[in-house]
Amino acid sequence: MSLLQKLMGTDEDSKIKKTVKSVFKQIGFDVKFEGFDEYHNRKRLNLSYEKDDVNVLVGKNGKNIMALEFLINIMLKNRYSLESHLMLDVNQYRKNKDVFLKDIALKAGEEVLKTRKDVILKPLNPYERKIVHTTLKKIKYVRTKSLGKGELKKILVSYAHDEQGI
């Protein structure tokens, strides 16, 4: 990578920024780019938005930002043949949500270990379920299973009679 690319960002990064800026301009949100990082093996673009209607941008349980992310990924694929699987995070919403989900998962795991009774978590989207399953996979004698059909599913956290969660 040349010094100019390091300073300016990759060609892929500039295409992503151009597309994101265009989409957010069209829907009337003046977001600021905070930079890229990698999160759960995905490229994440961190954005900031300082107006009162940030909740409209993020949406209930992050639904709007995830829909925009989906749209932008399709646009990147169609316009530039980029298979980027870009993740968007506005005002660290996702980072904070992940911390919250890990905390809920650990509390459920502790409850199961203490009481040996099942705990059922509220319906979660696929991304949120992945956080919970991954967090609890590391705990001996705890297993998880998704319950239900469709996009939103509950998670059953239960006691396993051996270390592998079987």
CA end-to-end span of the chain: 47
Predicted TM-score (pTM) of the model is 0.79
Cβ–Cβ under 8 Å, residues 82 and 16: yes
* Mean pLDDT calculated for residue range 98-121: 97
Confidence class of residue 162 from pLDDT cuts 50, 70 and 90?
A: confident
Q: What is the pLDDT of residue 86?
A: 94
Domains located in the chain, CATH noted:
3-91 (3.30.300.20), 96-159 (3.30.1370.50)
Q: What is the pLDDT of residues 17-30, one digit of tens each?
A: 999 999 999 999 99
3-state secondary structure of 85: coil
* Mean pLDDT calculated for residue range 101-116: 97
Chain mean pLDDT for the chain: 90
